[in-house]
């Protein structure tokens, strides 16, 4: 029996997968505007049998697979970058965060500037371990609402980026299907409302533009950096 997913799963995993499949629904509506009376029952059955959770897993896995490539583009994980001594933008703030984390993650000890310089990879491993422990301490969305909100935003964009190849493919196929309708059935221009073709076609074009111009690594990085900031700020409340 299916179960309702939590808010993070819905916002960060289910919604990206639903956006990817939206063009299929648009093409179906264009071709069969009067033949969808039974789709409500079918959709209910899909949800009840775990279809929503299946979509959530597709969204999550696609984002996770491509996440390492994002970190490579950005020069490392956002949280690790904020904890590095190298190129720190605010030394007093960095020292305070290190001090807080040293207390919260004892006996784990963050590296000194000299230790980080001599072994950057080891230093990043320690930073990631500390962040993992910090993340576990800030999972309560009521106590840390800003951390939760930025985490949802980052998860949504990351998973949408992971699904981009599939989203582009389905959008192009849907656009072709809608464009082919008046060729297969020329009567649609004279016997039915033109919105049947114009609206799905317009939405597909906008979605195609969004996939190409908006869903990029730079777009994903914005909430990624914001999440890292909110997570480390949470040290002050622990």
**64-104 pLDDT, tens digit each:** 999 999 999 999 999 999 999 998 889 999 999 999 999 99
**What's the rounded Cα separation, in Å, for the pair 217 and 222?**
9
Q: Do 156 and 17 touch, CB atoms closer than 8 A? A: no
Worst-scoring range by mean pLDDT, 97-101, 162-166, 191-195? 191-195
* Domain assignments of the chain as residue spans, ordered by start: 7-237
Q: What pLDDT score does 3 carry?
A: 54
Of 91, 73, 79, nearest in space to 125 by CA:
79
Instruction: Report whether pLDDT(39) > 70.
Output: no
Report the 3 state secondary structure along 26-81. Answer: HHHHHHCCCCCCCHHHHHHHHHHCCHHHHHHHHHHHHHHHHHHHHHHHHCCCHHHH
Q: What pLDDT score does 50 carry?
A: 59
Mean pLDDT for the stretch of residues 208-216: 96
Confidence class for position 4, pLDDT limits 50, 70, 90: low
- For 110-137, write each residue's pLDDT tens digit: 999 999 999 999 999 999 999 999 999 9
Mean pLDDT for the stretch of residues 192-211: 86
Cα dihedral: 29, 30, 34, 35 (round 10) = -60
Instruction: Report whether pLDDT(141) > 60.
Output: yes
Of 221, 228, 235, 231, nearest in space to 145 by CA:
231
Q: What pLDDT score does 99 carry?
A: 93
Instruction: Report whether pLDDT(166) > 70.
Output: yes
Q: Do 230 and 147 touch, CB atoms closer than 8 A? A: yes
Tokens representing residue 197 in the block: 């073709």
Worst-scoring range by mean pLDDT, 22-31, 82-91, 165-174, 191-200? 191-200
The residue assigned the tokens 């464009």 is 179
Mean pLDDT for the stretch of residues 179-190: 78
Q: Between residues 190 and 207, which one has the greater pLDDT?
A: 207
DSSP three-state, residue 111: coil
Instruction: Report whether pLDDT(32) > 80.
Output: no
Q: What pLDDT score does 44 carry?
A: 53
Q: What pLDDT score does 42 carry?
A: 54
Mean pLDDT for the stretch of residues 163-173: 93
Q: Do 12 and 156 touch, CB atoms closer than 8 A? A: yes
Of 162, 177, 151, 176, nearest in space to 211 by CA:
162
**What's the rounded Cα separation, in Å, for the pair 82 and 62?**
26
pLDDT, mean over the chain:
87
Cα dihedral: 75, 79, 83, 85 (round 10) = 10
Residue ranges in the chain assigned as alpha helix (H): 7-8, 15-31, 39-48, 51-74, 78-83, 91-104, 113-118, 120-137, 145-162, 164-184, 188-191, 195-213, 217-233
Of all residues in the chain, the percent with pLDDT exceeding 70 is 88
């Amino acid at each position: 029996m299916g179960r309702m997913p939590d808010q993070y799963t819905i916002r960060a995993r289910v919604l990206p997968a639903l956006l990817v499949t939206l063009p299929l629904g648009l093409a179906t509506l264009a071709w069969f505007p009067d033949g969808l009376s039974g789709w409500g029952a079918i959709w209910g059955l899909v949800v009840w049998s775990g279809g929503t959770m299946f979509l959530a897993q597709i969204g999550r896995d696609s984002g996770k697979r491509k996440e390492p490539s994002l970190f490579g583009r950005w020069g490392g994980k956002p949280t690790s970058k904020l904890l590095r001594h190298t190129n720190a933008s605010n030394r007093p703030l960095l020292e305070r965060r290190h001090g807080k984390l040293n207390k919260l993650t004892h006996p784990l000890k963050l590296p000194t500037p000299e230790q980080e310089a001599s072994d950057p990879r080891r230093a990043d491993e320690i930073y990631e371990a500390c962040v993992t422990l910090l993340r576990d301490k800030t999972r309560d969305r009521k106590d840390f609402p800003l951390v939760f909100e930025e985490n949802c935003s980052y998860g949504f964009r990351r998973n949408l980026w992971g699904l981009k190849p599939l989203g582009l493919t389905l959008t192009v196929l849907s656009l072709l299907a809608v464009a082919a309708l008046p060729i297969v059935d020329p009567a649609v221009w004279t016997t039915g409302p033109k919105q049947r073709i114009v609206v799905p076609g317009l939405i597909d074009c906008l979605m195609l533009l969004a996939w190409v111009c908006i869903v990029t690594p730079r777009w994903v990085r914005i909430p990624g950096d914001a999440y890292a900031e909110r997570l480390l700020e949470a040290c002050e409340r622990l």
